Amino acid sequence: MGSHNLDSTTIPQQVSIEAFPYLRVYKDGTIERLAGTQIAPTGLDPQTGVVSKDVIIAPQTGVSARLYRPQLHIKLLPLVVYFHGGGFFISSTADPLYHNSLNQLAAEAKVIIVSVNYRLAPENPLPAAYDDCWEALSWVASHSSSGGGVQSPATEEPWLKNHVDFNRIFLAGDSAGANIAHHLICRISEQNPSRRLIKICGVASIQPYFWGKEAIGSEVHDLVRKSMVDRWWSVVCPSDKGNDDPLINPFAEGAPSLEGLETCPKILVVVAGKDILRDRGWLYYEKVAKMSSSLGWGGTIEIMETLEEDHVFHI
């Protein structure tokens, strides 16, 4: 199956899957993405002084990353591994919205960034995106002195080898990317403590894409947007569990234990007041905070809400 721009006169009867307003799949298998297809080039950003480049992580799957390096005033910098949003089915690391915002993040926070370009659904249904991001995190870990228990990369990336402080690694993501970050932290926690892939100092979960079968908060009354999100999930994850699949509902039966988040000392949840996913972000915060309190977790979780904004307004 391929992704192409089709003529607007294509008759509706040819459409087999409609994920309005972002994607169509036609009966011949052609996929038409209606957003997130623009591409920004790498290089020096004159506004921030940040330099970016693309690297291939896994030739066999095509998984790649876009790296960002700010002006170097000290030898070692923190690293942020970033997972872009887009419902698991649109956008990329080259999307100008992400490219420009990550240039700014690298410059203002003075961090090196690895932005992961994972495979998209429906060509690659979930859990492909999670597996790709785990492979990217393993690739990052292979550059540390401990190696994260994984084989050294065939070609070392000098930006990581020479300029990253591996004691200060953070995960961040928005929407689907925040969902991915949650699952990666849980996956790290499942490893033997003496052989964990990498130590994560914190996670920024920006307007996380979590969902569930039972409507909560604004979902009860906003039936139009709820039905859209329902539809999107059915496209990216054909599951008999639907909206209560553990990949999208972190509190559903079979979901990774929230206790796994104890391996991450700091969690920041960011929500937007007009976002249909707002109440899911708050529920996540409240559940994790309650869990951490009952277990005597030494870490912290905070939440920040921007009242008059909608989903992923920051990009």
Number of other CB atoms surrounding residue 188 within 10 Å: 21
- Is there a catalytic annotation at residue 175? yes
What region does 149 belong to: left with phi over 0, alpha with psi -120 to 50, or beta? left
Is the CB of residue 124 less than 8 Å from the CB of residue 92?
no
Would you state the structure tokens that stand for residue 303, as one six-digit string? 């939440």
Q: Is 220 exposed, middle or buried (0-12, 13-18, 19+ CB in 10 A)?
A: exposed
Question: CA–CA separation, 304 vs 211, rounded Å?
Answer: 19
**Helices within 154-255 (DSSP H only):** 158-163, 176-189, 223-236
Q: Beta strands 43-44 and 63-69: pairing type? A: unpaired
Considering the candidates 175, 189, 205, 292, report the single residue annotated as catalytic.
175
Q: Can you list the positions of beta strands (E) in the chain?
A: 15-19, 23-26, 31-33, 43-44, 51-58, 63-69, 77-83, 112-117, 164-174, 202-206, 266-272, 300-306
Classify 38 as helix, strand or coil.
Answer: coil
**What is the spatial order of strands in the sheet that 23-26 belongs to?**
15-19, 23-26, 31-33
Write out the catalytic residue numbers: 175
